[in-house]
Amino acid sequence: MPTSTALPAPAAAEAALASGEAMHALLARLFPICRSLTGNGVRETLAIVREYLPELQVHEVPSGTPALDWMVPAEWNIRDAWVKNAAGERVIDFRAHNLHVLQYSTPVRGWFSRAELEEHLFSLPQQPDLIPYRTSYYQPNWGFCLSHRQRQQLQEEHYEVCIDSTLDESGALTYGELVLPGASEEEVLLSCHCCHPSLANDNLSGLVVAVFLMQELARQPRRYTYRLVLGPGTIGSIVWLSRNPEAVGRIRHGLVLTLLGGPGGFTYKQSRRATAEVDRAAALVLRDSGTTYEVRPWLPYGYDERQYCSPGFNLPVGCLSRTPFGEFAEYHTSADNLSFVQPAQLVESLRLAEDFCAALEANRTYQNLSPYGEPQLGRRGLYKGVGGGQEGADWQMALLWLLNLSDGSHNLLQVAEQSGLGVALLHRAARALETAGLLQPL
């Protein structure tokens, strides 16, 4: 007979609040760091993550290293940047907000006319109070991002410009990796990027959820081996794929975690395969979550799922987010800040990710050991004769669905799809039937 380990409602609410506040505290600590594709910001970020996940391995891949069709770029670091008026006042100041500098800006120092400076300014006329986030990773350039109101106030004829940055061809790309061994060498890949500067939802929310998810998984017995990869977007996953052919062959399921701290419902983007086990598990977990959600078909654009799902690899990797990129007003602006991401939203995302992993862990194919007629469940204590039984009618139906579909060709996810019952309930019922000698896992 299954037993519940759920906390009483007040205790569960208190635990969720504490967890949400702890997640938000980590996010707030990481928020000011100026991260990019490479550089000390990524190293500093991963050093803090190692306080939470001490077994995290940090890898350095030298600039210029070939990676599939790409090459590891020069390492970029920035110490300071500003635009000063004739009075020597900083009218644009990297120290005030690290979004003010175009990512991967080449170093520059000198006086520029207002017209010359204009060619290197980026703002949002439709969102005049926000600073945009802009990059120039693979094409040498320099520039400043600023609010449009701030841009309109630049009326002097000349300005002094300084970007104190370095592009080091002898540098490296840095990424983090943690493997939690399971009973099987088959792997679940969890991936998120760590290359954005002060953007709370886009980048940091996924990283924070991943960190706390791995902490939770480390406390549990695991059927699968779980691998977390924290790297810069696009080039990070490409570098990892190029360096880990053996691990690639062991990946059975995967999930990119991103944009998990903002408001709005959940969105799951299917893998390229569309009907992989990971896609079915995600759809069922969302179906049973009681939250607003949408399942979207595969699209070869987005986050690192497009590298894992490229045709040569075709890994079963989906993408879990809340409101997708580009579909909320705060996206890639200074409004994607600490107040935009709330502790309750982080906790809800973490719980969903935990349920997703639990569904993968639970998914097995069973054989009914008493397939001729319906076995007598009452004498085995699986439910009472009158008025239902443990967990009521749903429990009884879970037992009956499992017995009927456990013919060696239906797994637990398929039973959940056909019956409309939750994966967690079916898993508990399967264990009860297995204990009673009625089911055998294959």
pLDDT digits (tens, 9 = 90+) for 82-96: 999 999 999 999 999
Average pLDDT over residues 356-361: 97
Q: Are strands 317-321 and 251-257 parallel, antiparallel or unpaired?
A: parallel
Domain ranges across the chain: 9-32+174-362, 75-168, 365-441
Beta strands in 322-399 (DSSP E): 365-368
Per the annotation, where are the binding residues for Zn(2+)? Answer: 196, 202, 332
Average pLDDT over residues 257-276: 97
| pLDDT tens profile 294-318 | 999 999 999 999 999 999 999 999 9
Provide the percentage of residues in the chain whose pLDDT is more than 70. Answer: 95
Q: What angle do CA 379, 383, 385 make, to 5 degrees?
A: 75
Average pLDDT over residues 111-135: 98
Is the per-residue pLDDT at 2 higher than 50?
Answer: no
Half-sphere exposure of 431 (CA within 13 A, CB side): 11
pTM of the model: 0.93
Average pLDDT over residues 336-347: 97
User: Check: CATH 3.40.630.10 for 9-32+174-362?
Assistant: yes
Place of tokens 């001490």: 54
Q: What's the pLDDT score for residue 382?
A: 86
| pLDDT tens profile 206-223 | 999 999 999 999 999 999
Q: What's the pLDDT score for residue 390?
A: 47
**Distances in whole angstroms, Cα of residue 295 to Cα of each of 103, 265, 269, 286, 419:** 33, 11, 6, 9, 20
Is the per-residue pLDDT at 114 higher than 80?
Answer: yes
Q: What's the pLDDT score for residue 3?
A: 38
Q: What's the pLDDT score for residue 4?
A: 42
The CATH architecture of the domain made up of 75-168 is 3-Layer(bba) Sandwich (3.50)
| Average pLDDT of the chain, as a whole number | 94
Per the annotation, where are the binding residues? Answer: 196, 202, 332
Q: What's the pLDDT score for residue 380?
A: 86
Q: What's the pLDDT score for residue 70?
A: 98
Is the per-residue pLDDT at 400 higher than 60?
Answer: yes
Is the per-residue pLDDT at 240 higher than 60?
Answer: yes
Is the per-residue pLDDT at 385 higher than 70?
Answer: no
Are the C-beta atoms of 251 and 315 separated by less than 8 Å? yes
| pLDDT tens profile 3-44 | 345 555 666 677 777 889 999 999 999 999 999 999 999 999
Is the per-residue pLDDT at 264 higher than 70?
Answer: yes
User: Check: CATH 1.10.10.10 for 365-441?
Assistant: yes
Helices 412-419 and 392-405 meet at what angle, rounded to 10? 120
Q: Across the beta sheet with 57-62, what order do the strands follow?
A: 57-62, 172-180, 225-231, 187-193, 251-257, 317-321, 266-269, 293-296
pLDDT band at 1 (very low <50, low <70, confident <90, very high): very low
Element (H, E) at 207: helix 206-218
